[in-house]
């Protein structure tokens, strides 16, 4: 059974504020960045070994994800799958034809993933977010939703003002979608059981913000992923390790 307390201060994780695991090896749990930094000197002695073991499992997940890229396999913790998600990103319909609950959860994760990427790659953060020391990121999420509403075609046709309020409330209800909790790439892969999900979230974020994390342009990678969904380039993708960079 996984440890449910921070390895440094022994604080217990909760549904509202779950513990975060080391992004590299996924074996140590922490309640905050401060505790993670405090433990690094001791943890780095075993982190590399643990990471190599975890990497083997992630590689298997990558291969499984690629081998079924052209099917509507259901990710964990979503109630409905969509066929050829990268084609849907290309047509700006990735959020369409999904249950309301799934749309809210995915929007929250697009935002949280982007905030983590901004902090990690650009060393930038919203001062009125958890990265700036606030208890939650609801104010930043409201700005994100307003920006998303202006991104042509991204939101499903049923979206309205009430939807925005309900989506924010979903982020304030604790659990996985809590706006009081950070997420990293490894958390997304584990939660959805899909190594391609962080890439999908980032690509949707690029459509909303007009640029990818760190200034990256995902257009070329989107075309590559669409090719894998058509049954092309599978061996190239697996051999090159492209999944590891996104």
Greater pLDDT, 141 or 61: 141
3-class secondary structure, 102: helix
Q: Is the pLDDT of residue 224 over 80?
A: yes
User: What span, in angstroms and rounded, lies between the C-alpha atoms of 37 and 77?
Assistant: 31
Do 93 and 11 sit in the same domain of this protein?
no
User: What span, in angstroms and rounded, lies between the C-alpha atoms of 216 and 102?
Assistant: 27
3-state helix/strand/coil string of 76-111: CCCCCCCCCHHHHHHCCCCCCCCCHHHHHHHHHHHH
Domain boundary among 67, 95, 121: 67
Q: Across-strand partners of 29?
A: 21
pTM for the model: 0.74
Greater pLDDT, 95 or 230: 95
Do 51 and 128 sit in the same domain of this protein?
no
Is residue 92 a contact partner of residue 153, using CB atoms and an 8 Å limit?
A: yes
Domain boundaries, position 143: 71-245
Beta strands in the chain (DSSP E): 20-21, 29-30
Reading the block at residue 105, the tokens are: 């959860």
Do 56 and 104 sit in the same domain of this protein?
no
- Of the candidates 39, 49, 179, the one whose C-alpha atom is nearest the C-alpha of residue 111 is 179
Local confidence band at 242 (pLDDT 50, 70, 90 cut-offs) = very low
Backbone angles phi, psi at 12, to 5 degrees: -80, 140
Do 87 and 63 sit in the same domain of this protein?
no
Domain boundary among 67, 98, 117: 67
Do 175 and 190 sit in the same domain of this protein?
yes
Domain boundary among 67, 100, 118: 67
Q: Is the pLDDT of residue 245 over 90?
A: no
- Of the candidates 211, 212, 89, 98, the one whose C-alpha atom is nearest the C-alpha of residue 163 is 98
What number is the average pLDDT over the span 33-54? 72
Write the pLDDT tens digit of every residue in 171-181.
999 999 999 99
Amino acid 32: pLDDT: 78
Amino acid 178: pLDDT: 97
User: What span, in angstroms and rounded, lies between the C-alpha atoms of 242 and 246?
Assistant: 7
CA dihedral 221, 222, 223, 227 (to 10 degrees): 100
Please state, for a pLDDT cut of 90, what percent of the chain lies above it.
58
Do 62 and 76 sit in the same domain of this protein?
no
Q: Is the pLDDT of residue 230 over 80?
A: yes
Local confidence band at 185 (pLDDT 50, 70, 90 cut-offs) = very high
Amino acid 74: pLDDT: 79
Do 116 and 24 sit in the same domain of this protein?
no
User: What span, in angstroms and rounded, lies between the C-alpha atoms of 202 and 207?
Assistant: 9
Q: Is the pLDDT of residue 164 over 70?
A: yes
| Domain count within the chain | 2
Do 139 and 92 sit in the same domain of this protein?
yes
The conformation of residue 12, written as its DSSP 8-state character, comes to B
Do 23 and 139 sit in the same domain of this protein?
no
User: What span, in angstroms and rounded, lies between the C-alpha atoms of 108 and 113?
Assistant: 9
Do 90 and 210 sit in the same domain of this protein?
yes
Q: What is the mean pLDDT of the chain?
A: 84
Is residue 82 a contact partner of residue 98, using CB atoms and an 8 Å limit?
A: yes
Amino acid 125: pLDDT: 87
Backbone angles phi, psi at 30, to 5 degrees: -135, 150
Q: Across-strand partners of 21?
A: 29
Do 121 and 25 sit in the same domain of this protein?
no
Q: Is the pLDDT of residue 4 over 70?
A: yes
Is residue 77 a contact partner of residue 176, using CB atoms and an 8 Å limit?
A: yes
Q: Any idea which residue has 């849907």 for tokens? A: 88
What number is the average pLDDT over the span 221-241? 74
Write the pLDDT tens digit of every residue in 77-130.
999 999 999 999 999 999 999 999 999 999 999 999 999 999 998 888 888 999
Is residue 221 a contact partner of residue 199, using CB atoms and an 8 Å limit?
A: yes
Do 31 and 122 sit in the same domain of this protein?
no
């Amino acid at each position: 059974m996984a440890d449910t307390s921070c390895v440094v201060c022994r604080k217990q994780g909760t549904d509202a504020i779950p513990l975060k695991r080391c992004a590299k090896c996924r074996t140590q749990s922490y309640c905050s960045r401060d505790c993670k930094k405090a433990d690094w000197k001791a943890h780095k002695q075993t982190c590399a070994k643990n990471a190599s073991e975890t990497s083997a499992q992630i590689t298997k997940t990558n291969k499984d994800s690629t081998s079924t890229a052209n099917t509507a396999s259901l990710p964990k913790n979503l109630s409905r799958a969509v066929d050829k998600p990268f084609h849907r990103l290309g047509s700006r319909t990735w959020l369409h034809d999904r249950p309301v609950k799934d749309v809210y959860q995915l929007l929250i994760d697009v935002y949280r993933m982007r905030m983590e990427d901004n902090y990690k790659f650009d060393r930038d953060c919203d001062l009125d977010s958890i990265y700036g020391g606030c208890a939650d990121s609801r104010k930043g999420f409201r700005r994100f939703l307003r920006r998303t509403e202006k991104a042509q075609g991204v939101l499903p046709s049923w979206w309205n003002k009430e939807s925005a309020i309900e989506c924010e409330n979903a982020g304030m209800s604790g659990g996985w979608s809590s706006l009081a909790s950070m997420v990293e790439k490894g958390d997304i892969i584990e939660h959805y059981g899909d190594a391609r999900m962080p890439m999908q979230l980032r690509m949707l974020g690029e459509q909303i913000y007009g640029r990818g994390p760190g200034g990256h342009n995902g257009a070329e990678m989107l075309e590559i992923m669409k090719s894998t969904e058509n049954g092309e380039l599978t061996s190239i993708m697996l051999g090159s390790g492209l999944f590891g960079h996104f």
